């Protein structure tokens, strides 16, 4: 798919159906001129339902569908006939989609399980027919309930990528190159900043047919949480990763300081991200020799497992996969 087809944010207007009105019908027959009430209930209005579909990975199919309106329920009829329910509208969304109220930005629910269905707008209930209101003292009620109105409003759907390992680093740190080297993914790779403009997913094969999912998140720069660079547009994708793999190029003047800058951006965006397991990969190690690696060791962040890698030569990639697998299953 072309890169422009990745859409992870849409704002749509949804309206569920109104409930049908109950009937005020009175039974009439050739020899029954004054029969009792036999008005049926109105049908329920149609729901707007979200369904988590693992076949979808983007919200592009909803980008240009700005208005979604479900069918109203039918009115009740005589002979205690209940009106037909309005047809529900089911919107397929990727697993990991978050639904929010557009006005309050309140999170309504998150779609985390394949096949999960949640009602975004509930259809109005059908009104009760006059048959429901007859009593010993009121044997011929000539009234019924109107149907309830449906719900309507603007909603925001946001996609947060689900992955085991998320790659965190500055632009041009080698994230896309690593993803291409250890998975079958084919991200765009070039020698300039912000080559990656959308998250890319790849499956990393491990021993005994085991695997884990890796996500290449577009590069972060200092001040990203304030909207600089690509801004916070993709920071939310990091929230759903089990392990964060920080990638810092061996070309950086101060690897530890670069790591702290990346960590601070995540902290400013969402402090809870600091609770995730972290691994540090020093990339592009084909540009330095082993003596320089030894000199760098004392300067690296303490208590964060690290590995020197080169996605070009393959050095350290096996050790990286072993380390990530170990952290994922610790």
What's 251's DSSP letter?
Answer: T
Q: How far, in Å, CA of 32 to CA of 223, rounded? A: 82
pLDDT band at 174; cut points 50, 70, 90: confident
- Torsion 227-230-236-242 (CA) sign: negative
Q: What is the structure's pLDDT at 232? A: 56
Mean pLDDT, the chain, as a whole number?
Answer: 86
Q: How far, in Å, CA of 248 to CA of 172, rounded? A: 9
Pull the structure tokens for residue 92.
């397929």
What's 76's DSSP letter?
Answer: P
Q: Sheet with 97-101: list strands edge to edge.
A: 67-69, 9-15, 152-159, 97-101, 107-110
Beta bridge partners of 279: 245
Q: Yes or no: say if 214 and 325 are a contact pair by the CB < 8 Å rule.
A: no
Q: Which pTM was predicted?
A: 0.73
Query: Any idea of the CA torsion for 69, 11, 272, 196, to the nearest 10 degrees?
Result: 130
Q: What is the structure's pLDDT at 273? A: 87
Q: Yes or no: say if 158 and 7 are a contact pair by the CB < 8 Å rule.
A: no
Q: Which of 15-24, 133-142, 259-268 has the highest mean pLDDT?
A: 15-24
The DSSP line for 276-292 is SEEEEEEE-GGGS-HHH
Position 254 pLDDT exceeds 70: yes
143's enclosing H/E stretch is none
Pull the structure tokens for residue 112.
């985390």
Helix axes 175-182, 317-328, angle to 10 degrees: 90
Query: Any idea of the CA torsion for 91, 97, 103, 105, to the nearest 10 degrees?
Result: 160
Q: What is the structure's pLDDT at 177? A: 86
Position 166 pLDDT exceeds 80: yes
Q: What is the structure's pLDDT at 221? A: 56
Q: How far, in Å, CA of 76 to CA of 62, rounded? A: 34
From the number of C-beta atoms within 10 Å of its C-beta (0-12, 13-18, 19+), residue 147 rates as: buried
Q: Residue 219: CA atoms inside 13 Å, Cβ hemisphere, count? A: 21
What's 171's DSSP letter?
Answer: T
Q: How far, in Å, CA of 283 to CA of 309, rounded? A: 5
Q: How far, in Å, CA of 133 to CA of 140, rounded? A: 9
Q: How far, in Å, CA of 100 to CA of 154, rounded? A: 9
**pLDDT, greater one: 256 or 32:** 256
Q: What is the structure's pLDDT at 222? A: 58
Position 83 pLDDT exceeds 70: yes
Position 1 pLDDT exceeds 50: no
Q: What is the mean pLDDT of residues 247-263?
A: 90
Beta bridge partners of 200: 216
Q: What is the structure's pLDDT at 28? A: 87
Position 192 pLDDT exceeds 50: no
Q: What is the mean pLDDT of residues 160-179?
A: 84
What φ, ψ does residue 143 adopt, rounded to 5°?
Answer: -145, 160
Q: What is the structure's pLDDT at 233? A: 60
Percent of the chain with pLDDT over 90: 53
219-248 per-position pLDDT tens digit? 665 554 444 444 456 677 788 888 999 999
Domains in the chain with CATH codes: 1-159 (2.70.210.12), 163-328 (3.40.50.300)
């Amino acid at each position: 798919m072309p890169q422009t087809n990745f859409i992870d944010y849409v704002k749509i207007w949804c309206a569920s159906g109104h409930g049908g009105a109950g009937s005020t019908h009175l039974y009439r027959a050739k020899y029954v001129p004054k029969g009792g009430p036999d008005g049926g209930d109105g049908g329920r209005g149609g729901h707007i339902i979200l369904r988590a579909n693992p076949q979808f990975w983007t919200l592009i199919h909803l980008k240009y569908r700005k208005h979604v309106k479900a069918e109203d329920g039918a009115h009740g009829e005589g002979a205690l006939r209940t009106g037909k329910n309005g047809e529900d509208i089911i919107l397929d969304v990727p697993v990991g989609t978050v639904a929010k109220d557009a006005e309050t930005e309140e999170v309504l629910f998150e779609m985390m399980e394949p096949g999960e269905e949640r009602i975004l707008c509930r259809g109005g209930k059908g009104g009760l027919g006059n048959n429901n209101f007859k009593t010993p003292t009121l044997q011929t009620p000539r009234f019924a309930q109107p149907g309830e109105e449906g719900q309507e409003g603007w909603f925001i759907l946001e996609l947060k990528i689900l992955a085991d390992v998320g790659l965190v680093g500055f632009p041009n740190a080698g994230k896309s190159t690593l993803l291409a080297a250890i998975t079958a993914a084919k991200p765009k790779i070039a020698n300039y900043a912000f080559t990656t403009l959308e998250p890319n997913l790849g499956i990393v094969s491990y021993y005994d047919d085991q695997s884990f999912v890796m996500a290449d998140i577009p590069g972060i720069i200092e001040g990203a949480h304030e909207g600089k660079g690509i801004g916070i547009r993709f920071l939310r994708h990091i929230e759903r990763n089990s392990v964060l793999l920080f990638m810092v190029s061996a070309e950086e003047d101060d690897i530890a300081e670069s790591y702290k800058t990346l960590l601070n951006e995540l902290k400013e965006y969402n402090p809870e991200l600091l609770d995730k397991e972290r691994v540090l990969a020093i990339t592009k190690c084909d540009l330095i020799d082993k003596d320089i690696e030894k000199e760098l060791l004392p300067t690296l962040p303490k208590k964060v497992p690290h590995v020197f890698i080169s996605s070009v030569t393959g050095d350290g990639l096996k050790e990286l996969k072993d380390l990530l697998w170990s952290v994922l299953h610790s």
